[in-house]
Structure 1
Amino acid sequence: MNRKSVRVFLFLFVFHSSVGEAQSLQETVNKFAAHPEFEHASIGVYAIDVNTKQVLMDYGGGRLLAPASTTKLFSTALALDVLGGDYRPVTSLYYNGMIKDSVLTGDVWIIGGGDMSLGSKYFAKNDRDGFLREWASELKKKGIGSINGIIYADGSGFGYEGVPDDWLWGDIGNYYGAHFSGIMLYDNLVEYHFKTSTAGKPAELVYTFPKIDALQFINNVVSSTKSGDNSYIFGAPYSFVREGRGTLPQNMADFLVKGSLPDPELQLGIEFDRVLSEMGIMHEGPSLSTRLTHLSPPAGTWQKVIEYNGKTLREIVRETNYESINVFAEGLMRLTSYVKTGDGTHEKSSGYMQSYWKEKLKTNALFLSDGSGLARTNAIDAKTMCELLVYMDTSTGKADFYNSLPVAGVSGTLKNVAKNQAAHGKIHAKSGTMRRTKSYAGYAETTSGKKIAFAFIVNNYTGSNKDVTTQMEVLMNELVKQ
């Protein structure tokens, strides 16, 4: 056999092998789609070799579907691609007035820059007030031992829309429905600590963290023989009226339920006032939010105290995808818009993100209502999701993006997915779950060294989330065998 014949033989061998692999994968997809629980469902499955661009799976790959939390791939990728992993959001502290005999006769202004990490349990689990003490120390360095004036907290650069219009009422009072704000605090969450009694009797709300003096809590939470947290918190952004419904396990001395923080901006001023007192700085005056006062900062006459740098976007993106934190995903989308356009409102930011990815991915069939996936009006097809993944493999944020994705069988929201199966440790992906919606999207590292971008989305199935995950694990296992 001459050299030319050898080349032809090798080409045909590789060609037929790749065709055979693709056909085998497509057969697996067809079997997946024929599962009885998907008879009435809408399905989108797509997989593509990142390097060769060979399509390996396609079943409804161009069908627009609600993807749930895999939407976070678009907001986290946006932040890394536009701002970079080293970027740190900044919160600025100023004072306005005169200092005499260690007394500031004037006001303190906190200007929010969209930092999601202030007092976050994901970054400061054992010292959530550390940043407030640092601010207080900086005031002392300026010779301020007492404040005779107002503490203003101002996050107006990001607007006061609260949550997107198309989020559900049943979501927004709970921890996963916390709204993003220009000034965030403690992940914009409230911890409700309940003491339960015997089944059928009311659960007692013992205390909250943070303490919210204005809170009006309507308690309809009942002790039950059921295990786990079956309670829900109802209430709107900026409203201090909250209602608890549902059940908690009986005979618990301290059962934690998490809800959304009504007014993070106002609460930050209150918590700062508390820390100032603890550190010996007296404050004579109220702590107010500029949302209510409608005042503009006295930028021409104020004096800078500190520009406080938050965590890097690299760190924030990792927590966002590992733990699927909705409020962080919203924040990344809105921070990016704020930095690039000067407008961090939801309407401007969601429009900015959608336009950015439509241009980069060359598509008109992309509808991004929010950054987290909590909106049921998000509509993304599996093919476009894979094209995002392929694009990010060439981005300067490639490593940060890849490392932010949970690993099957190992970490984050994929810790129990494909555990001790072929895909264990070889899938880096984001999961998405809502009622009758399940999705996974990310990268598969194959045994032959290939890198495959994939997206699986199913809406309106008749089985359980667990059953759907089991079927999707079959697809993951087949991908990594290629």
Structure 2
Amino acid sequence: MLIRKFLFVLLVFSLLSCKPNFKTTSHSPKENLISQIKYLINDPVLANAQIGIFIESISDNSVLFKQDEYKLFVPASNQKLYTTAVALEKLGADYKYETRFFTTGEIQDSSLNGDLFVVGRGDPSISGRFKEKDILAHFKDWADSLKAKGINTINGALIGNDTFFKGHKLGYGWNWDDEPYWYSAQIGALSFNENCIDLEITPGEKEGELIKVKTNPITDYVIIENNAITAAKDSLSTLSIGRARGKNRIEIKGRLPFASSLEKKSITIEKPALWFLDTFIKVLNEQGIEVKNGYKLNTARVDFETNKKALFTHFSPEMSELVKVVNKGSHNFYAEQVFKTLGAEIKKKGTAKESSKVIMDWLNSNAVTDAHAIIVDGSGLSRMNLVSPYSTATLLKEMYHSENFEPFYYSLPIAGVDGTLKRRMKNSVAQNVVRAKTGYVRYMRSLSGYTKDRSGNDYLFVIMLNYYSVPTAYVNKLQDKIAILLTEFNPQKN
């Protein structure tokens, strides 16, 4: 069985080496390109797959190739193109998230005689990502801001409000068994460290000892149940890390070989707004600010800020920076936070349903009907999303002509250079030329973006495969080969 699998993998890689190698005829360059693409996608091993493609020259608006462009496909993380494009168009590249601080009391003799309120509005960046990996940096900065106002004691409680977003903390159609893992973090208007706790795992000092686990931050909000054993140096790792459903109890099992290198994992948090407050109040205490009455979460949704005095407001990086996190690294949590923000800001209701309407309204205004796109989340983790190659191509074309094209374009991974394309199309003409968004959930693979041909003409392309049974590496090579063909294309060649 292993030999057969090895021979199959060897076969598919030999069929799809990175550099295209086709015999061409005396037909026109466009006809040759079409013939080469058809040769690739008509491979018998893809007979059971659904393949949708749309390739257009933006320079002259001519369609070079299309197949099943109006059929619906599961886009996977190509969904992030929709989220980021509409966020740039509707919120603006200079949009910043606000985290607002209020009080009902007065400051007297270094004491705040009242409660401290923190109102979240969906900022995904309250972490170490923009703070040199110091995940507590924002909380320390806020402690400094309170001290600057003469506050060393809070004679009240720390009260959080996360009602800017409404509805479920997970996306519609997400898999329950993904819940512990960073790519399935809960969504929330008051979020910290991308709603995950970071683990550093190393073997014990000798065989038979429990492995060592460090958390960042150090916290008692999460319980670590470590039952994993240090195994022999030449053994295989059977390490398993999960989280009990609905609980902040992380379960570590299995065996980790002695002398294994450091492993870093991020595990999701249950009730992330409380995690935010729990960590913040501890940092306040460490920074010399005593909070007398602990913390709690306020669920009031109407006029929460009324009759309160503003203390200060924290601003996130601009949307033009946040969409880079979404697209280059294909970051689901950032995508979902931005997605929910669309509904909260544009429709004044931060639900997935209203956020979907914002995207569909934009698509409708650009001649994409409801028949060509069904949007249920912002990241593409749900298999309930359905889009057509035509709708994605229309999005790419509209963004190309938009004033927000630059931040959108620069958010996309660069072939052979960075993001999810860092290891693809290396040492080919497409390296550093193709900019495109990948998408993957099991048996679904997408690649959509832009490239230039040898004459400097601009193209958009959408390549979607669903329900294939070959290894995903095979599909990657096929998509790469089409992108390389397009980048090598010379429409003037006789």
- TM-score, with length taken from structure 2: 0.86
Q: Which residue of 2 aligns with 1:16?
A: none
- Paired residues of 1:426 and 1:446 also in contact (CA < 8 A): no
How far is the alpha carbon of 1:134 from its aligned partner? 2.3
Whether the 8 Å CA contact 2:211–2:230 is kept in 1: the answer is no
Question: Which SS does the other structure have where 2:432 is aligned?
Answer: coil
| Counterpart pick for 1:327 among 333, 341, 346 | 333
2:342 alignment partner, one of 336, 348, 355: 336
Q: For 1:334 and 1:95, how far apart are their aligned partners in 2?
A: 27
1:51 and 2:59 matched: yes
Find out whether 1:466 has 2:476 as its counterpart: no
2:373 is paired with a residue whose SS is coil
Q: Distance in 2 between matches of 1:229 and 1:431?
A: 30
CA distance in 2, matches of 1:369, 1:202: 46
Q: Flag structure 2 segments of 5+ consecutive residues without an equivalent.
A: 1-26, 490-494
Alignment: residue pair count: 461
CA distance in 2 between counterparts of 1:369 and 1:248 reads 39
Aligned to 1:436: 443
Residue 84 (str. 1) matches residue 92 (str. 2): yes
**Aligned match of 1:209 in 208, 216, 219?**
216
Report the equivalent of 2:308.
302
- The match for 2:159 among 152, 161, 183 is 152
Map Cα deviations across residues 183-220 of structure 1 (whole Å, 9 max, x no partner).
12112221123333699979646232233424344556
State the Cα distance separating 1:58 from its structure 2 match: 1.2
Cα distance, 1:352 vs structure 2: 2.5
User: Using a 3 Å threshold, how does the CA distance of structure 1 residues 220 and 390 change in structure 2: closer, same or farther?
Assistant: farther
* Separation (CA, whole Å) in 2 of partners of 1:341 and 1:86: 20
Deviation at 1:273, TM superposition (A): 1.4
Letter in 2 for 1:72: K
Identity fraction in percent: 27
Which stretch shows the higher mean deviation, 299-308 or 422-431?
Answer: 299-308
Range with greater deviation from structure 2 (267-276 or 218-227): 218-227
SS of corresponding position for 2:118: strand
The amino acid that maps onto 1:343 is K
Match of 1:112 among 109, 116, 120: 120
CA–CA distance in 1 between the matches of 2:29 and 2:205? 59
1:196–1:471 distance in 2 versus 1, CA, 3 Å? same
RMSD: 2.6
Q: 1:369 aligns to what?
A: 376
Q: Which runs of 5+ in 1 are unaligned?
A: 1-18
Q: How does 1:258-337 map to 2 (within 5 A)?
A: 258-291=266-299, 299-337=305-343
Cα distance in 2, alignment partners of residues 166 and 246 from structure 1: 30
Establish whether residue 72 from structure 1 lines up as the match of residue 80 from structure 2. yes
Name 1:13's counterpart in structure 2.
none
Offset at residue 252 of structure 1 (A): 3.4
Cα distance in structure 1, aligned partners of 2:444 and 2:62? 28
Task: Pick from 421, 424, 427 the counterpart of residue 417 of structure 1.
Answer: 424
Do structure 1's residue 23 and structure 2's residue 31 form an aligned pair?
yes
Paired with 1:216 and 1:313, the residues of 2 have a C-alpha distance of: 35
How far is the alpha carbon of 1:245 from its aligned partner? 6.1
Alpha-carbon separation, structure 2, partners of 1:229 and 1:56: 49
Q: Is the 8 A contact 1:160 1:181 kept in 2?
A: no
- Distance in 1, matches of 2:228 and 2:470, equals 29
The CA distance in 1 between the partners of 2:154 and 2:93, in whole Å, is: 38
Aligned to 1:392: 399
Cα shift at 1:165? 2.9
1:473 offset after TM fit, Å?
1.5
Q: Deviations over 1:232-287 (max 9, x none)?
A: 52455x63244456765554374222111223211221222122222221221212
Q: Cα–Cα, structure 1 residues 221 and 467, in superposed 2: closer, same or farther, change >3 Å? A: farther
The 3-state SS of whatever aligns with 1:64 is coil
TM-aligned CA distance change 1:109 to 1:43, over 3 Å: same
Query: SS in structure 2 opposite 1:304?
Result: strand
The 3 A distance-change label for structure 1 pair 434 and 275 is same
Contact 1:174/1:259, CA 8 A, preserved across alignment: yes
